Structure 1
């Protein structure tokens, strides 16, 4: 990282960082196992030989069990995420649609990402990123609802049936619920690809610690960010 004029901003609490990495692992497991559950032949026309699968613990029952465990862990991981949101201002960097800064930030960052502007204004988290993270949380909510709506059909549970059962009728039928669950999963993976690209790109071009911030909780900026008012801690110069 560049030294000298770089300013240090503590943003992300340990709770958000724990959530982030648990989420990364769970999403990977859920996507791979979900592909297998939806189509055991996605690895090729012959799929996995049933004898080999059972002998190596790769039966459909085992894959489904792994999928369900990862789903429960992902849902539980939102507890530290919510706790961090409550106690730490840097964990609340979600879009503020009612502010002028949000809309000017959208235009500013769009022009930069379209290579029509050499750089954008300094932000702790720019408006496009904030919108993207809110969108992915919404997609997670859809996946949770549709996932548990299908899950209770194979694992009858009175509580799950009462909470999620109506969605199978509200969304036409279980097959449509499955399709929504499947396609939203692909949208989440597309978001992951774009997110990784943009984080790496920002680290190389702006050198603000975009990637390392998810380990240290700290970002570095040369200028005071336009959204510095969203955190309630005093900035301190980097050593």
Structure 2
């Protein structure tokens, strides 16, 4: 990290950082166990030698339990995320398509990522990243809805049936729900790959602590970012 002119900007509260790392662990476990449930490649078949999963106590029932338990943890982890969103302006860096800065930022960042510009304007969080994070939250919502819609069929529950039961009919049938759940999971993993690459790339090219900010909550910038105004808590300003 460069010394001297680099100015610190406190962005991320402990709440969003907790959510981020819980989400990372949960997504990994959910993806691996989900693949296993869809294609139990470690389970032995009748008349064959028991395979790795069975001999190590990892039956399909256990894998499903881990998947469902982790899903509940992921859903609960949104509580600190929402709380951080309420109390800290830096946790609210989502896209603002009604502003000129959003669209100029989209073009500016795209040209940089396409290597048509050596650098882009300074942003706390650029427009493409903001849009990407909103998209992944939407994908999580789809996974939660489709996941619980399938889960209530396995574990009948009046509460789950009332909320998620109708989705199986709205989305044609259980098989379509399963397909949506499966493919959206792959889109989330694709986002994760791109996200990790872009975060590491930004750390190497911009030296602003993109990766370390999810531990410290702080990013460092040489110039004042164009979206610095997003760190102003408008509620507190109005109260004053």
Corresponding residue of 1:136: 136
Cα 1:58–1:44 shift into 2, 3 Å: closer
Corresponding residue of 1:216: 216
Farther-moved stretch of structure 1 (19-28 vs 224-233): 224-233
Contact kept? 2:44, 2:54, Cα under 8 Å: no
CA drift of 1:50 comes to 3.7
Cα distance in 2 between the residues matched to 1:82 and 1:93: 13
Matched residue SS, 2:8: strand
Corresponding residue of 1:34: 34
Cα distance in 1 between the residues matched to 2:95 and 2:53: 46
Gaps of 5+ in 2: 234-240
Contact kept? 2:5, 2:222, Cα under 8 Å: yes
Q: What are the equivalent positions in structure 2 for 1:150-229 lying under 5 Å apart?
A: 150-229=150-229
RMSD across aligned C-alpha pairs, in angstroms? 1.7
Contact kept? 1:50, 1:59, Cα under 8 Å: no
Contact kept? 2:44, 2:50, Cα under 8 Å: no
Cα distance in 1 between the residues matched to 2:183 and 2:50: 27
Gaps of 5+ in 1: 234-239
Structure 1 segments, 4+ long, off by >4 Å, are 43-46
TM-score (norm 1): 0.94
Cα distance in 2 between the residues matched to 1:104 and 1:127: 9
Equivalent pairs, count: 231
Farther-moved stretch of structure 1 (49-58 vs 16-25): 49-58
Q: What are the equivalent positions in structure 2 for 1:113-128 lying under 5 Å apart?
A: 113-128=113-128
CA drift of 1:52 comes to 4.1
